[in-house]
Amino acid sequence: MNKFKIGDIVSYRNTRGNIKKAEITSFETVDNGKVWFHGIDTETKAKVWYPVHISQTLGEPKCNCLNPFCPTCGNEVYE
């Protein structure tokens, strides 16, 4: 189930592998039944086209702690 709606700011991974933020402008269901979103990058204003099911996993904690310097997570608590 899609937990995002139009106007939400969500995480996505750009072509260089960096996690960025985008504002959702629309949704589209592709041939395999997966839902992708169209959006605008919040910094560069570039157009974004990304799968919702992957975006939902970005930004989830790697472990259950809230310490940004956790030895399990390293300095980066979020993916």
Contact 65, 72 (CB under 8 A): yes
Where are the chain's structural domains? Answer: 1-79
| Per-residue pLDDT, 64 | 60
pTM comes to: 0.71
Specify the CATH class of 1-79 in words: mainly beta
Cα–Cα distance for residue pair 45/60, rounded to 1 Å: 24
Note down pLDDT in tens along the chain; length 79 residues. Answer: 568 999 999 999 888 888 899 999 999 999 999 999 999 999 999 999 999 988 887 766 555 666 666 655 554 544 4
Q: From CA 31, how far away is CA 43, in angstroms rounded?
A: 30
Residue 15 pLDDT:
87
Burial of 24-61, coded b for 16+ CB within 10 Å and e otherwise, reads beeeeeeeeeeebbebeeeeeeeebebebeebeebeee
Position 77 scores a pLDDT of 43
